[in-house]
Chains A and B, each alone.
Chain A
Amino acid sequence: MGSISLQDVRKTFGSHVVIPGANLQIEDGSFVVFVGPSGCGKTTLLRMIAGLEDVSSGRILIDGANVVDVPPAKRGLSMVFQSYALYPHMSVRGNIAFGLKMAGLPRPEIDRKVDAAAAILNLTSYLDRKPRELSGGQRQRVAIGRAIVREPKAFLFDEPLSNLDAALRVQMRQEVTRLQRQLKTTAIYVTHDQVEAMTMADRIVVLNAGSIEQYGTPLELYERPANLFVAGFIGSPRMNMIERETEQHQGAATIGIRPEHMTVSRDGAGWSGIVRAAEHLGSDTFLYVDTPDIGSITVRCVGELGLGEGDSVRLRPDPARVHRFDKSGTAMR
């Protein structure tokens, strides 16, 4: 069982308020991603759940029990650190076994569990090596092995993939997700990369300056962002925000339209503009269009259109996909 609940959790450093008050309900077995720009408090929140940071006020419940005064060693959680934090003087086996040793399990049982974890992660042939003899990807798997072997109530991941190269990151992303589904353990995963968030999460928590902007499934965040911040954070390239009045506005202060939800043509109806720059990927084309009426617009088209720098174009947004936001930035539904 691994349901986690945050109730009015608040964190201050002296007079500086880092997290004004967080409320969150994480269901047992779900994969929740904390995402947000640097300094938004996602790691702080994770560390408070882990017990590595004190909570200034509020409650953190794990399976219904408030753990705010419980030291990290006793919370029954596992953490995978960004730097992996492997014990350099112990072998891979020693690293993975450490938590079990601390729990006082008998030696044969420890060995059995370590071997099982190593098998899942393809580490069996490395069990006797020291961390310094391993590659980044292998070290990361050892860190994960150390976390899963204790069968914790929940896994906590602190940007574990950010030190890997791009190809490895994609591969590990899938492995982590697969592992979590297989083990059915709750997982909280912190990242600044929204692609990781979108592809891995059951639900995403978008954080901004310590506040939870929205908590929902990836598709919910994409299709129905709650405010300007979430709308601009999720989705790449970034949603186009238009403040100048158009017929799409209908009372809104700002409207948003994603680059992939516009059609482009050389003439006809729509906003007129000149292509400032074009990126041809073969599979997609990104057009950066300057329009006199509404500003700069980014457009994403599938395939190759034969349009380039200097061409004049007409842009038509899909009316069903226009997001409207009021003066305070909240979505108008």
Chain B
Amino acid sequence: MARRTPVAHTITATVAAWIVGFVIFFPILWMVITSFKTELEAFNTPPSFLFFHWTTENYATVQERSNYLHHALNSIIIAGGSTLVAMVIAIPAAWSMAFVPSRRTRDILLWILSTKMMPAVGVLVPIYLIFRDLALLDTRIGLLGILCLSNLPIVVWMLFTYFKEIPKDILEASRMDGATIGRELVYVLTPMAVPGIASTILLNVILAWNEAFWTLNLSTSEAAPLTVFIASYSSPEGLFWAKLSAASTLAIAPILVLGWFTQRQLVRGLTFGAVK
């Protein structure tokens, strides 16, 4: 803008925005602060904000007493694994729809979208029974598969929108330059698609890490990721707030960081490109 906005305007807006941001973010902040308190301190009224005895004992306890690492590993395997498998299936699909579209491509895309709309709870019963009968309950493989299928529509869509943005004439130029389809894919398409692929991976990892329906219903301990682990704090014994906070901080920290880098991709992915 070529005009200077009045300073008063900027200051009011800034103050208001920071207040709003702080209020919204506060619960997270409060949780992190609580994780550094002792249990007694955490439960104390009036609550202390900054001036208390900061301790990292909860972080130590979380691993000792409740095997946090085991569940974190599960989260990593399930989130990472389901993303990887989804990408392997989805990249060719998105490629074909973006570059070799047919008359039915549009309908197929919309159908894929509609499969995401199916409420998980609608198929809870059969999936549970299938898992039980195939001994997939509380297995990482089982959860990996379900999450992969569950997020596949979003992955395909996101990749499709990114592939569509690659200018067609650059690919044609590579063909004129003598590249076969394979070499076109390797030397031209993939390098140009890397940012889109990376964004899709990031977003899918986040969605899979935070998934809290199938993980809660299809796993108990062996394969339980962090979502389930934290849920176990809903019926605890004794004082547990500080431990809950520590466990939670550890559980959300990586995703919070990842999420901050994927804001734009989030918009694209979750609105199926309807808003860009």
Same assembly: yes
Question: A residues bordering B, Cβ < 8 Å?
Answer: 50-52, 71-74, 77-79, 81-83, 85-89, 98-99, 102-103, 146, 150
B residues 161-190 near A (Cβ < 8 Å) are 167, 169-170, 172-180, 183, 187-188
Given known A98-B187, A102-B183, contact A85–B170 (CB-CB < 8 A) = yes
A83 contacts which chain B residues (CB < 8 A)? 167, 169
Q: Point out which of A74, A78, A85 has the most chain B C-beta atoms below 10 A from its C-beta.
A: A85
Complex Cα distance, B169 from A11, in Å, reads 21
* B192 interface residue per 8 A CB criterion: yes
4 pairs of A and B residues whose beta carbons are closest in the complex:
A99-B177, A102-B178, A85-B173, A85-B169
Q: How far is the CB of B90 from chain A (nearest CB, A)?
A: 22
**Judging by beta carbons under 8 Å apart, are B191 and A89 in contact?**
yes
A78 contacts which chain B residues (CB < 8 A)? 176-177
**Judging by beta carbons under 8 Å apart, are A71 and B175 in contact?**
yes
**Judging by beta carbons under 8 Å apart, are A102 and B177 in contact?**
yes
**Judging by beta carbons under 8 Å apart, are A98 and B177 in contact?**
yes
Give 15 pairs: A residue, B residue, CB < 8 Å, sorted on A.
A72-B172, A73-B175, A74-B178, A77-B176, A78-B177, A79-B176, A83-B167, A85-B167, A86-B173, A88-B192, A98-B174, A99-B177, A102-B177, A102-B178, A102-B179
A85 contacts which chain B residues (CB < 8 A)? 167, 169-170, 172-173
B173 contacts which chain A residues (CB < 8 A)? 79, 81, 85-87, 146
Size class of the B contact interface (CB-based, 8 Å): 10 to 19
Q: How far is the CB of B16 from chain A (nearest CB, A)?
A: 38
Complex Cα distance, B178 from A71, in Å, reads 9
A74 contacts which chain B residues (CB < 8 A)? 178
Complex Cα distance, B174 from A248, in Å, reads 56
Please give me the residue from chain A that is nearest to B180 by CB atom.
A73
Question: B residues bordering A, Cβ < 8 Å?
Answer: 167, 169-170, 172-180, 183, 187-188, 191-192
B183 contacts which chain A residues (CB < 8 A)? 102
B187 contacts which chain A residues (CB < 8 A)? 98
Please give me the residue from chain B that is nearest to A89 by CB atom.
B191
Q: How far is the CB of A159 from chain B (nearest CB, A)?
A: 12
Complex Cα distance, B178 from A103, in Å, reads 7
Q: Point out which of B167, B174, B178, B188 has the most chain A C-beta atoms below 10 A from its C-beta.
A: B178
Complex Cα distance, B94 from A109, in Å, reads 38
Please give me the residue from chain A that is nearest to B190 by CB atom.
A89
B169 contacts which chain A residues (CB < 8 A)? 81-83, 85
A87 contacts which chain B residues (CB < 8 A)? 170, 173-174, 188, 192
A82 contacts which chain B residues (CB < 8 A)? 169
Complex Cα distance, B167 from A219, in Å, reads 39
Complex Cα distance, B183 from A52, in Å, reads 17
Q: A72-B176, A87-B170 are in contact. List 12 more A-B contacts (CB 8 A).
A: A50-B176, A71-B175, A73-B175, A74-B178, A77-B176, A81-B169, A81-B173, A85-B170, A87-B192, A88-B170, A99-B177, A102-B177
Please give me the residue from chain A that is nearest to B175 by CB atom.
A72
Q: How far is the CB of A187 from chain B (nearest CB, A)?
A: 15
A146 contacts which chain B residues (CB < 8 A)? 173, 177
Q: How far is the CB of B182 from chain A (nearest CB, A)?
A: 11
**Judging by beta carbons under 8 Å apart, are A99 and B172 in contact?**
no
Q: How far is the CB of B195 from chain A (nearest CB, A)?
A: 10
**Judging by beta carbons under 8 Å apart, are A52 and B174 in contact?**
no
Q: How far is the CB of A160 from chain B (nearest CB, A)?
A: 12
Q: How far is the CB of A13 from chain B (nearest CB, A)?
A: 13
Complex Cα distance, B177 from A51, in Å, reads 12
Q: Point out which of A98, A103, A146 has the most chain B C-beta atoms below 10 A from its C-beta.
A: A98
Complex Cα distance, B172 from A81, in Å, reads 9
Q: How far is the CB of A89 from chain B (nearest CB, A)?
A: 4
Complex Cα distance, B169 from A281, in Å, reads 41
Q: How far is the CB of A126 from chain B (nearest CB, A)?
A: 19
Q: How far is the CB of B170 from chain A (nearest CB, A)?
A: 5
Complex Cα distance, B191 from A230, in Å, reads 46
Complex Cα distance, B174 from A79, in Å, reads 10
**Judging by beta carbons under 8 Å apart, are A99 and B178 in contact?**
yes
